[in-house]
Amino acid sequence: MTVGRSLGRNGARQPSLAQLRAFVAVAEHLHFRDAAADIGMSQPALSGAVSALEETLGVQLLERTTRKVLLSPAGERLAGRARAVLEAVGALLEEADAVRAPFTGVLRLGVIPTVAPYLLPTVLRTVHERYPDLDLQVHEEQTSSLLDGLAQGRLDLLLLAVPLGAPGVTELPLFDEDFVLVTPRDHWLGGRGDIPREALRELDLLLLDEGHCLRDQALDICREAGREDGAPVTTSAAGLSTLVQLVAGGLGVTLLPRTALQVETERNDQLSTGCFAEPAPARRIALAMRSGAARQEEFEELAKALRSAVRSLPVRVH
């Protein structure tokens, strides 16, 4: 057997990773010199690798002229496939690195907007102190986008409200936190500590835009309190900070998770807060990962560390 030649199960030659990498670089740059510089290969070696790939596949991938390089119709079809193979190999190597050395390399964490501003300081401090070699990359997105990113492998771990009811996803509960009613300063429910849920039936309620899980949770609480689905709900804000400003302006009331209360209300003297009678409406925050993930033990250890770290927050730790 010739050295460097890869054979398939039927004895057919198979492309090498170097050939695929050379072809993808040319497909991206449409220029041999730029492609060679991008992947650290000499231009003759790059050209030879692409030619060898064409011979192996039995198709012409490029149309070469004296002035430019173009993808052939076959090249256009196969460039995406070649790129996907290289990405899959990269993912394989990342997983192998994670097995050899936990809490090193990249960890892509997805966080929902109604958690990120209030918990990330604790999360980042914990990761920095306990896992200094971990490259934590944070992505703030809504729940549906995070779940899609987890399923496609774009994200490794999620920090969000549960339950999700998503197949193939394992939840690692961290804590529960109560919802608090935020009102204008002179509202009749402001300052109370025993607000019945039934009070939500007739209030002018301000909620986040559709797509935020916090909106859905608030609507569930209202339905449990007996508020009819047709009762008016003003959807006016894309974020909690704007929502709170609308409350301060007297347009209505809203529900905030307790971890967000200090950040969103402490510097506004036009607001008041009230607590619900027990059992207060609450949400559960958890980490979520792909079921059977190679880094499952690592993620479970991180969940344990975060449970310890959030004990100073106004939450009930699992």
Q: What residue ranges do the domains of the chain occupy?
A: 11-89, 100-175+287-317, 176-282
Structural tokens at position 14 = 């198979």
- Find which of 87-91, 272-276, 300-304 is predicted with most confidence, using mean pLDDT: 300-304
Q: pLDDT band for 11, please (50, 70, 90 cuts).
A: low
Give the position of tokens 């790939």.
Answer: 53
135 near 273, Cβ under 8 Å? no
Judge whether residue 187 has pLDDT over 80.
yes
pLDDT confidence of residue 94: 79
Model confidence over 105-135: pLDDT tens digits? 899 999 999 999 999 999 999 999 999 999 9
181 near 274, Cβ under 8 Å? yes
Judge whether residue 3 has pLDDT over 50.
no
Of 106-115, 179-188, 211-220, the poorest mean pLDDT is in 211-220
Rounded Cα gap, residues 228 and 48, in angstroms: 70
Judge whether residue 296 has pLDDT over 60.
yes
Judge whether residue 231 has pLDDT over 60.
no
User: Sign (positive/negative) of CA torsion 117, 219, 303, 169?
Assistant: negative
114 near 160, Cβ under 8 Å? no
Structural tokens at position 72 = 């052939």
Rounded Cα gap, residues 41 and 4, in angstroms: 17
What's the angle, vertex CA 153, arms to CA 131 and CA 120, rounded to 5?
40
Rounded Cα gap, residues 73 and 71, in angstroms: 6
Fold match flag (100-175+287-317 vs 176-282): yes
Structural tokens at position 136 = 């934590």
Model confidence over 77-106: pLDDT tens digits? 999 999 999 999 988 887 777 667 778 889
Residues 6+ apart with CB under 8 A from 254: 181, 182, 205, 206, 207, 218, 243, 244, 246, 247
CATH architecture for segment(s) 11-89? Orthogonal Bundle (1.10)
Percent of the chain with pLDDT over 70: 92
Judge whether residue 227 has pLDDT over 90.
no
Rounded Cα gap, residues 36 and 23, in angstroms: 10
Q: pLDDT band for 12, please (50, 70, 90 cuts).
A: low
The CATH number for 176-282, chosen from 3.40.50.2300, 3.30.1330.40, 3.40.50.300, 3.40.190.10, is 3.40.190.10
Model confidence over 135-145: pLDDT tens digits? 999 999 999 99
Rounded Cα gap, residues 194 and 275, in angstroms: 6
Structural tokens at position 227 = 């508020």
The CATH number for 100-175+287-317, chosen from 3.40.190.10, 2.60.40.420, 3.20.20.70, 3.40.50.920, is 3.40.190.10
Strand 282-290 versus strand 169-184 pairing type: antiparallel
Structural tokens at position 62 = 């490029």
Model confidence over 29-76: pLDDT tens digits? 998 999 999 999 999 999 999 999 999 999 999 998 767 889 999 999
CA of 177: how far to CAs of 112, 275, 303, 314, in Å?
15, 12, 17, 7
Helix H or strand E encompassing 248: helix 240-248
pLDDT confidence of residue 75: 93
- Please give the sequence-ordered ranges of beta strands (E in DSSP) within 13-97, or none if there are none: 13-14, 62-64, 69-71
pTM more than 0.75: no
160 near 151, Cβ under 8 Å? no
Structural tokens at position 259 = 């971890």
- Mean pLDDT over residues 163-185, rounded? 93
Average pLDDT of the residues of the chain: 87
Cα 186 off chain centre by: 39
How many other β-carbons are positioned within 10 Å of the β-carbon of residue 188? 10
Helical axes 258-265 vs 240-248, angle rounded to 10°: 60
pLDDT confidence of residue 234: 60
Strand 105-111 versus strand 157-162 pairing type: parallel
Strand 62-64 versus strand 69-71 pairing type: antiparallel
